[in-house]
Amino acid sequence: MDDHIKKLEDSLEEFYVTLKHLTKECVSLQNELERLRRENKWLREQLPARKGEEIVVKEGQDALARLYYEGFHVCHLQYGNLRSEGDCLFCISLLKKQ
């Protein structure tokens, strides 16, 4: 009987570990999805306007500032990477310079 209980406990523990692992994976996939959505949205916005729509030509700085506020680095160090830790001093100084 004790043996059965021990086995059951082991299984539950294993199950719990797996569940924790899956939960972690799920969070990282959600983050990745969110990042891809933002990237996709931004990329779509860079596409030329469709026929019949007014084509808006953006100044270089506007595009960079926009990219930055969309959450991406525009500095040389990490250009195009997602800003996962808030503001980037390098990006800001670059945007101010222009």
Q: Which residue has the tokens 């969070």?
A: 27
Cα(96)–Cα(41) distance, integer angstroms: 25
Compute the radius of gyration of the chain from its Cα atoms.
23
Closer residue to Zn ion in complex, CB, 48/60: 60
Measured from the CB of residue 39, what is the shortest distance to Zn ion in angstroms?
16
Q: For residue 78, what are the contacts with CB-CB under 8 A and spacing of at least 6?
A: 88, 90
Cα(89)–Cα(53) distance, integer angstroms: 36
Residue from the set 59, 91, 92, 93 that interacts with Zn ion by CB under 5 A: 91
Residue from the set 42, 71, 90, 95 that interacts with Zn ion by CB under 5 A: 90
Question: Is 67 a binder of Zn ion (CB under 5 A)?
Answer: no
Q: Which stretch binds Zn ion (CB under 5 A): 5-13, 14-22, 41-49, 73-81?
A: 73-81
Question: Is 94 a binder of Zn ion (CB under 5 A)?
Answer: no
Cα(41)–Cα(33) distance, integer angstroms: 12
Q: Which stretch binds Zn ion (CB under 5 A): 5-13, 39-47, 49-57, 86-94?
A: 86-94
Q: Can you give the binding site for Zn ion, defined by CB under 5 A?
A: 73, 75, 78, 88, 90-91
